[in-house]
Structure 1
Amino acid sequence: MGSGAAERGWAERRPVLFPFLLSLFGPALSEQIRYRIPEEMSEGSVVGNLGKDLGLSVHELPTRQLRISSEKAYFTVSAKSGELLVGSRLDREQICGKKPACTLEFEAVAENPLNFYHVSVDIEDINDHSPKFTQTSFDLQISESTKPGARFILGSAHDADIGTNSLQNYQLNPNDHFSLVNKEKQDGSKYPELVLKTPLDREEQKSYQLTLTALDCGDPPLSSTAQIQVLVTDANDNPPVFSQELYRVSVLENVLPGTPVLRVMATDQDEGVNAQITFSFTEAGQITQFDLNSITGEITILNTLDFEEVKEYSIVLEARDGGGMIAQCTVEIEVQDINDNIPEVVFQSLRDIIMEDTNLGTHVALLKIRDKDSGHNGEVICKLEGDVPFKILSSSRNTYKLVTDGILDREQTPEYNVTITATDRGKPPLSSSSSVTLHIGDVNDNAPVFEQPSYVVHVAENNPPGAPIAQVGASDPDLGPNGRISYSIVASDLEPRALASYVSVSAQSGVVFAQRAFDHEQLRAFELTLQARDQGSPALSANVSLRVLVGDRNDNPKYSQRSSSHSTISRRKIES
């Protein structure tokens, strides 16, 4: 692959392929293969030789038809080489977000015989995102009466990468009045606090221009900057003070818009306009799920929450008095999951037809279970409904195999309606069912059966040649050629050379024809062995006897003993 050469060069410096094979013994064989690759490998790049790792030779690939069963086409398999190839863009941040581990799991399917193999591909993060501030500049008003040591929360940056490639710290350009402290939230994200080192004097300097830099520790490191403009205001004796520096609260994801979440409290010891406090979000443009009453400090739900989308919000609030002095606090809102997603059952790699002689434990289909909830709400139990000759086996997380678990007989049951019910462990539990019709294919497992154990037919002599004298019949419950019957004569008590001149049988109808007129005086009875044979492979057959009794007719003239003696004496006289 031309596009994969560069990626393989990267792999030589840093191993990306770690395959291992785990065989689970039993009729339903399961294999597990694992690879590790970096994100953003170009389309067509080689992940590993899946066919080889599964023990398939190149010569087997055309008949085994190795392929990938997955909802999204992240990977494909080369039909010629068996190599697992990148099929579409692998953006780790888009696929897994901030999860510390990012693994794509799917099933590889091989035909003839049908087998499923669980494949995991770990996607490693590369440093392809620099930290980004939500805004490029921040305005901060600080009273000249503010005492050294006062802290001010600044706007944070966001980095889509993880680990050392993600945002690690903030730096402030050197100056005499301010320093920077790196703080960490409960979810592990970092934010900067500006610390006043020395007193401010508005008469000496009315404003300060600072540069805030956010850096990651990737190789090479990436960074971004934001400008901070500090305006020094006239003395205002007392700034607002929040009752808590950090507020924490939990809400269910199904709370309705307008529902109160919590109320922050701040006080100011000044009087008059300097004691009038208003509340606001420091990054109001980024807050879309909550509303804040600027007078009371009450936070309410603005838009519907969804635990499956965002599990926690960290919001910085600002309290500002009438003199321009501010205080800040952080509100962390944890969204709690409720069981609001019904589990789904999806059939994949379903066989069109299951032959009735299929062995026990043969793979029939692959089942994927989806439930967006978490914890017990997302734990799903699968059940196969009804009394059917199948069972389900757990293959991997949220993946099951449907395999045969009993004898199949198409002649008794040509198809099965299989229903799988998925139920989660939520309270109350949610469930759904999915059904599929499995068609049973015919094999030649039934020999023809004659309608009678034996046949006897009476035929009067002097019958017309070519006329039918009997008919045998057989049935076969198989389908197609397996149930298509032809008839023949396989044995007789007549001389083999003479048989064809006496009788014949229609291969299609089983009608037996007389080939000559029978003579009771010469042949009073004979017996045939007829065979009914299907056209299966191998063919099955059955034999039956047909006894033909030739009846007498008055076809010879009578003569007396007296007439016979007189004729003899007369001949003697003439001779003498």
Structure 2
Amino acid sequence: DGALNSTAHVEVKVVDVQNSPPTFSGALSGSLSEDAPVGTVALVIKARDADRAQPRDVKLELITNPLDFFWLDSDSGELKTAKPLDREALADPSSPLNLTVRASEIVNGVPVVSDLTSTLATVTITIKDVNDEPPRFNRREYSVELPESLPFGTPLPNLDMVVTDTDVGLNSVFSLRLSDEMGAFIVEPSTATGSATVTLRLNSSLDYEDPNQRKFILEVIAEELHTSPRLSSKASVTVSLTDVNDNAPQFADGPYSTSVAEAAPAGTRVAAIRATDRDTGRFGTEGIVYHLSGNGAELFSVDNRSGVITVAPCATPGQAPCLDYETRKDYFLQYKATDDDGAGQMTVVSLQISLTDSNDNPPVFVTPVYRASIDEDAVKFEPELLVQARDVDTTSDIRYSIAYPPDSPFWIEPVTGKISVRGGAILNSTDDNRIVLTIVATDGVHNATCKVEITIRDVNNHAPAFDTDKYDASIAEDSAIGTEVAAVRASDLDSGVNAEIKYGIQKGALDSFTIDNVTGVVAVGSKLDYDRRNTYRIQIIATDM
């Protein structure tokens, strides 16, 4: 009361009201190996009503259960495995698995979910890795195409190979190796942890033209290094090689030579020359285009696909400017083969086309007229009489004959053209002392003629002959000197000077008569006397020399 104090105890009892939700106690995290058997307890979850005076019973239930790995005993709170665990199946195998558990108070025998009667909690379960996953490829089969010209060491394009081992730690360390009998490729990397992008690299040069290199079936093997047993997996890689125009056409032989007749008609086959190419398709043999070039190539045609060479159309076969042996015997040309339909690699070989002679030209005599002379009593010409015809066709075989006159005293040797006197023939000079022969030269197809004028030289082989062997004449004794008594006449079968006759008195004239040595006229040479001599027997001689 201002001076004295007094105390008293007051007891206040607080009556509990149900206004607090359940609370969790103990650990909310646990761990177990991923190979734990089904039913293994991972964790015992405990929860109670936070109201102390009259706590209610609490029921536990799983709200979220990723992959349904667990089940919860709502009475005991035991969280058990519901099926085999697979750590690698988790969205993030390196992180723990989060489950949501709800604790709800039971009111009137029924769990009541509200802010005052239920509580959520996150339960964390770490699934410990067990080496139960081999390294795995993102695909079982791969297919790659690459050109044969790919440089050494180049990675295979568009492979997109990834190997992943979802285990952790040493369980995820693996090696990579390649099963390749030819050793044409190598694999990188040789080792990896967890995951790796795999590269196959070219380890040698490739050749599509080798049938053994057109397709490779490779096997890539991924195998764990530090586990027992070592889990592994395989993937096949099919590498298909595509052809590149890396080979030029090749001729089996070369240089080439062939022949054709100079008068061969257009289209006559000369040769068929083909090349081969180790490439395929248009880069190979089927894509080769042929071409002929060089001086004179226009006289020939070539089928640019088959390689068949023929004689080109020309107005005058066998004669210039067409093929003509006599103008040009050989054609040295270039024969080209180009692949890729004429746009690729090429090879050129030389081609010699030789013309064979055809009998397309007539013989021609060296001169159109030959002249010679021969004594009428000769048996041969001196010098020899030869006619000669020439034929520009080298294959021609010329033969000679006398076409006219048919009864000529001469004959001609068919091969040499030598003209001779026929055996037993008699040459007599004619009025003009000349014989004209017509000689024919033939090559079997064509003929030519020439004239041979032969002059028969007269030989004094005939004696003069009088018209009669006896002449009779009479004359008066008193005839004057010079009076013609008679005229004798002789003839000579010879000709020319050999037929010029001179007359003379050989005997019997007794100087009483004379004769003109040219005319043969006998005349009184001196005074006659009948009484002294009345008859004269005069012997007259005719001489042609």
Q: When the two structures are superposed, what TM-score results if normalisation uses the length of structure 2? A: 0.47
- Which of the pair has more CA radius of gyration? 2
Q: 1 or 2, which has the higher helix percentage?
A: 1
